Amino acid sequence: MTGWTVIWVLAGVAGVSATTWVSTPKGPNQVLIRTSVVSALTCMYLMWCIVYLAQLHPLIKPKRSDVRYLD
């Protein structure tokens, strides 16, 4: 697992956002639909990215409980 996954997913989310922006049907709620979809995709991507990177590079090193340390 590398950090490149984050970039590939970002490209996919950007593509879906652009497709939604272009293909939203005309109507009185067009701006609301566009904004809602793009905001939801952005929030979901950010949440996934933060969780993924936190698991990939944890701040606190896990400790093994099955190892005896000599003091």
Across the chain, what does the average pLDDT equal? 89
The single-letter code of the amino acid at 30 is: Q
DSSP alpha helix (H) spans, 1-71: 4-23, 30-56
Tokens of 15: 């593509």
Percent of the chain residues past pLDDT 70, beyond the cut? 92
User: What pLDDT shows up at residue 43?
Assistant: 97
> Contact at 8 Å (CB) between 14 and 44?
no
Domain spans of the chain, in order of start: 4-56
User: What pLDDT shows up at residue 1?
Assistant: 64
Length in residues, the chain = 71
User: What pLDDT shows up at residue 61?
Assistant: 74
Q: Tell me the whole-structure pTM to 2 decimals.
A: 0.76
Express each pLDDT in 5-38 by its tens digit. 999 999 999 999 999 999 988 999 999 999 999 9
Q: What DSSP character marks residue 26?
A: P
